[in-house]
C-alpha cells in the first residue's frame, strides 16, 4: 500500500493490524500463514473485490495486517476498509480463527511465534523477549505530501497532536485477562522499544536520515532497518507521512475518523 499526492488533492491509505484468536476462548493463535493461504486461494492478485488491497504478515504469527489501496476521499477509504475487514474475516473463518480489532490481546496466549521473515527474525535476535511480548495492533494512516522535505515539516507540526490522536483512538484497556486501568495499554507496551515514542524535532529530511543511520549504526535499530518506530514518520521510499500512534479501532467509522 502506498499513498502519493494527487494533483489538486490529498491521497491517503490505511494499514490495520488485527489479532487472530481462537473462536472458543478468544486466546491469540498463530494462524497467520493459514489465513494468508486461504485469502490467496480466494483472491488472486489483481482480481476480484479488494484487488488493490493486501493481507500481510506482522511481527507475530498471531497477527495479520490489512492494507488499503490509495484513496483520494473518505468515502473511498470507508469502502476499502469495509472490504478489507470482510476479506480478512472470510479468510480467518476458513482457517478456523477469528480476527479481533484490539490494540492488545485481552486473553493470554499459550505461546507466541515470530513470523518467519528475515526482518522479523533479525528483530527477534536484537530485541529478545520484547519481541514475543509485543502482541499489539495499531492503525497506521499514510497521507501523501509533495516531497520528503515537506514530510519532515508536516511531522514537526504534527508532533503536539499525536497524544490527541491517541486519545481519540485508544482501544486496548485489557491485557491477558486483566483490566489494566489504561485506555491504551498498547502504548505502554510499545514504550519499552527504542524510538517507540513521539519523534524529536528534525531540521530537514537529511537530518532525519542521519538520525536513523546513527541509531542503526549504534545497534538501536536492526542493521537493515530503513526507518525508526516513531509514532509518526516520513516514509523511507515515498513522499508520505505515516501516522502510527493510533490503536486499531473497533469499527471502520472510527478508522475513517
pLDDT digits 0-9 by tens, 81-119: 999 999 999 999 999 999 999 999 999 877 677 777 777
- For residue 2, what pLDDT band results from cuts at 50, 70 and 90? very low
Report the helix count and the strand count for the chain, using DSSP H and E: 9, 9
Q: Is the entire prediction scored with pTM above 0.85?
A: yes
| CA–CA separation, 44 and 51 (whole Å) | 8
* Domain ranges (residues) in the chain: 12-256
Summarize pLDDT for 149-163 with one digit per residue, the tens. 999 999 999 999 999
Q: Tell me how far apart the alpha carbons of residues 104 and 175 are, in angstroms, rounded to a whole number.
A: 6
Tens of pLDDT, residue by residue over 42-82, are: 876 554 444 456 799 888 889 999 999 999 999 999 999 99
128: confidence class by pLDDT, cuts 50, 70, 90? confident
Mean per-residue pLDDT of the chain: 89
Percent residues over pLDDT 70 in the chain: 92
pLDDT tens by residue, 164-217:
999 999 999 999 899 999 999 999 999 999 999 999 999 999 999 999 999 999
Calculate mean pLDDT across residues 224-236. 90
Q: What pLDDT is stored for residue 122 in this prediction?
A: 78
Neighbours of 43 (CB within 10 A): 19
pLDDT on residue 18: 98
Cα–Cα nearest to 131, from 139, 119, 143, 142: 119
Cα 88 from Cα 43, distance rounded (Å): 11
**Residue 9 has what pLDDT?**
77
Tell me yes or no: is domain 12-256 CATH 3.40.50.2300.
no
Task: Collect all residues with Cβ–Cβ distance below 8 Å to 209 and sequence separation of at least 6.
Answer: none
Amino acid at each position: 500500500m502506498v499513498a502519493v499526492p494527487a494533483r489538486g488533492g490529498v491521497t491517503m491509505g490505511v494499514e490495520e493490524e488485527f489479532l487472530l484468536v481462537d473462536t472458543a476462548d478468544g486466546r491469540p493463535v498463530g494462524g497467520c500463514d493459514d489465513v494468508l493461504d486461504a485469502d490467496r486461494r480466494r483472491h488472486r492478485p489483481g482480481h476480484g473485490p479488494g484487488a488493490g488491497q493486501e493481507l500481510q504478515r506482522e511481527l507475530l504469527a498471531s497477527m495479520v495486517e490489512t492494507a488499503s489501496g490509495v484513496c483520494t476521499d473518505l468515502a473511498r477509504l470507508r469502502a476499502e476498509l469495509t472490504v478489507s475487514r470482510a476479506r480478512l474475516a472470510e479468510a480467518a473463518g476458513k482457517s478456523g480463527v477469528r480476527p479481533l480489532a484490539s490494540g492488545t490481546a485481552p486473553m493470554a496466549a499459550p505461546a507466541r511465534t515470530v513470523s518467519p521473515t528475515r526482518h522479523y527474525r533479525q528483530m527477534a535476535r536484537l530485541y529478545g523477549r520484547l519481541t514475543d511480548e509485543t502482541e499489539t495492533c495499531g492503525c497506521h494512516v499514510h497521507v501523501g505530501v509533495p516531497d520528503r522535505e515537506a514530510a519532515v515539516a508536516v511531522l514537526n507540526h504534527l508532533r503536539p497532536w499525536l497524544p490527541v490522536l491517541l486519545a481519540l483512538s485508544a482501544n486496548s484497556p485489557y491485557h491477558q485477562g486483566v483490566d489494566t486501568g489504561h485506555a491504551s495499554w498498547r502504548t505502554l507496551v510499545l514504550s519499552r522499544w527504542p524510538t517507540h515514542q513521539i519523534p524529536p524535532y528534525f531540521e530537514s529530511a537529511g537530518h532525519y536520515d542521519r538520525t536513523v543511520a546513527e541509531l542503526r549504526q549504534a545497534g538501536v535499530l536492526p542493521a537493515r532497518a530503513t526507518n525508526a518506530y516513531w509514532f509518526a514518520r516520513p516514509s523511507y521510499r515515498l513522499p508520505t507521512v505515516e501516522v502510527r500512534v493510533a490503536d486499531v479501532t473497533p469499527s471502520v467509522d472510527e478508522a475513517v475518523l
